Structure 1
Amino acid sequence: MTALDLPRSFVIREGDLRILNPYDAGKLATLGRALKLRPGTSILDLCSGKGELLCTWARDHGVVGTGVDISTAFTAAARERAAELGVADRVRFAHGDAAVFVPESPVDVAACVGATWIGGGVPGTLEILARSLRPGGMALVGEPYWRREPPDEDAVRACHAESREDFHDLPGLVALFGDLGWDLVEMVLADQDSWDRYAAAHWLNLRRWLDANPDDELAGELRRELTEDPLRHVRFRRELLGWGVFALLRR
C-alpha cells in the first residue's frame, strides 16, 4: 500500500467483485440505457473502483472518459478490465485523490457513485462534480437513503452511519437535490436482492481469504467481521437502507 491508498482489508473484502456497491450488472446496464448515452459522451468517474461503469458503458454506448480512484489495486483492475473489453483506447484510469482531481476539459457527465464522503456528503460532492461539468452537463450521484426509520443507535451504526442525520429518506434526498439547485432527471435504485449479492459476496471473499491466510495480521479483524456482518445485514441493512444512483441537471 502506498501513502495514497485504501487499507488492504478493502481489497480483500471486494475480492473479484467488479461493481463495488449494491448494484448488479443489470442495474448498471439499465442506468446506462436510461441516460440515453451517445457515442463520444465524455464521462469523469470519481472513485471509479474497478472501472466497471466506464468500461461497460464504453463497450455498450461508445462513451469515453477517465476514472480516478485512491486504490492502486482497484485502478490496476480497472485497466485490466478496459483491456479485456477492448476499450482501453477510450477510457483511462488514474490513481489519485478524486476529491481534488479536475480534468483538462469539462465533461458531459461527472459521476461519484457511492463515495460522497469525498465532499463530506451530497452538497459538497455535487460542488466537486460541478467544477468538471460543461454547461448543461449531468451529475451522477450514488447515495444511501433510509428505507425505514432506524429504531435505535445500534441500527444506525449497523448501517455504517454515525447518526440518523447522515442519510435522508428518499423524499428527503430528492428534496435536497432540489434545494441545492438541481433537477432529478433519472434514477435507478438498488433492491434487497442486489444488496444481498453485494454483502454476501464479501462473506465468501472473507472466508476464502481467511482459510488461505490464517496467520495474517488481519485475520483476527476479518474473522470478527465475517462472524458479525451477516447478522447485521439481515437484521438491519437490507431492511432499513436503500441505495440508488441519481442523475441530476443543474437548474
Structure 2
Amino acid sequence: MDIPRIFNIMESGHRIHNPFTPEKLATLGAALHLESGTRVLDLGSGSGEMLCTWARDYGVIGTGVDMSQLFTEQAILRAEELCVDHQVRFIHDDAAGYVSDEKVDVAACLGASWIAGGVAGTIELLARSLRTGGIILIGEPYWRQLPPTEDIAKGCLATAISDFLVLPELVASFGRLGYDVVEMVLANQDDWDRYEAAKWLTIRRWLEANPGDELAPEVQSRLTSEPQRHAAYTREYLGWGVFALMPRIFLKQA
C-alpha cells in the first residue's frame, strides 16, 4: 500500500505536503489556543510536520495516518528529531475509514479529502473521532478567481471548474453541512511557490542520480512543464486554506 511513486519522488524533500509554511502551521496552532495534552488526529498526515511541531510547541499528543510509506518514515524520524516521539505516533495505513479508538479534541484532514469522497464525507468521517466540543480541521482548495474556461481549470489540475468553489461559497458550504466556521488560515501565492517550486529542485537532483530509472522520462516531463503550468494557472487561480469547524448549536426557539 502506497501512493503513486511519482508523488513520493516529487515531494520527498517536503516536510509539508500542502501550500502551507511552518509559520502558517504555527499561526493555526496559536489561533486554536492549543494546550498541553490536547489530543489530535491527523488523517493524511504526510511527513508529520503539523503533529510534530504542535507537540513541541504546544504539548499536544496524537496520531497521524498516511498511505505513503516514505512520508510515514519521515514523520517518525521528525518526531525523534524534535524529541516528541513519546507524544505522537504515525501509522502507515489507508486513512479512509480510520476512526480513533479514543475521542480526540482536534480531528484534521489537510488536503486529502479524497479519502472519504470529498469534503462532506471527510467531515463526516472526522466527526466520528471527535469529542463533544471538539474542532474539525479541513484543508481544501478554492478558486481565488473563477477560471474563465474549463481548459484553465484543467491547467490547475482540476477536472472541471465545478471541482472547487470560490472562497465565500466554500465557507457557506460548511454551514449547510451543519458546522460553524470558527477559524481559518489561508495560503497565499508565496506559499504556493514554496510548495510547488520546491519540487523542481528535488526532481532535478533525482534525475541526476537516477537517469536510467523507468520513471525518469515522466519526471523529466514534469520538470519541463510544471514551472510554466504553475506560473500560468495554479498561482493565479487556485487558493488553499485550513478551516476550523465546530458542529452548529441549534438553539431552541422561544
- TM-score between the two structures when normalised by the length of structure 2: 0.96
Could you tell me which residue of structure 2 aligns to residue 16 of structure 1?
Answer: 13
Could you tell me which residue of structure 1 aligns to residue 65 of structure 2?
Answer: 68
1:99 alignment partner, one of 82, 96, 99: 96
- Per-residue CA deviations over 1:156-195 (Å, capped at 9, x if unaligned) read 1121211111101000100000000000000000000010
1:213 alignment partner, one of 194, 203, 210: 210
One-letter identity of the residue aligned with 2:41: L
Matched, 1:36 2:65: no
1:152 alignment partner, one of 143, 149, 153: 149
Q: Once superposed, which parts of structure 1, at least 4 consecutive aligned residues long, lie more than 2 Å away?
A: none
Could you tell me which residue of structure 2 aligns to residue 225 of structure 1?
Answer: 222
CA contact (8 A) 2:13 2:199 kept: no
CA contact (8 A) 2:97 2:116 kept: no
1:1-251 maps to which residues of 2 (within 5 A)? 4-251=1-248
Q: Distance in 2 between matches of 1:205 and 1:213?
A: 12
- Per-residue CA deviations over 1:111-138 (Å, capped at 9, x if unaligned) read 0001111121110110010011011110
- Per-residue CA deviations over 1:74-128 (Å, capped at 9, x if unaligned) read 1110000000000000000001111111111110000000111112111011001
Q: CA deviation at 1:15?
A: 2.2
Q: CA deviation at 1:155?
A: 1.2
One-letter identity of the residue aligned with 1:177: F
CA contact (8 A) 2:12 2:71 kept: no
- Per-residue CA deviations over 1:11-61 (Å, capped at 9, x if unaligned) read 110122101110011111111111100100000000000000000000000
Q: CA deviation at 1:142?
A: 0.3
- TM-score between the two structures when normalised by the length of structure 1: 0.97
- Per-residue CA deviations over 1:213-245 (Å, capped at 9, x if unaligned) read 111100111111111111110101000000000
Runs of 5+ consecutive residues of structure 2 not aligned to the other structure: 249-254
Q: CA deviation at 1:151?
A: 2.0
Runs of 5+ consecutive residues of structure 1 not aligned to the other structure: none
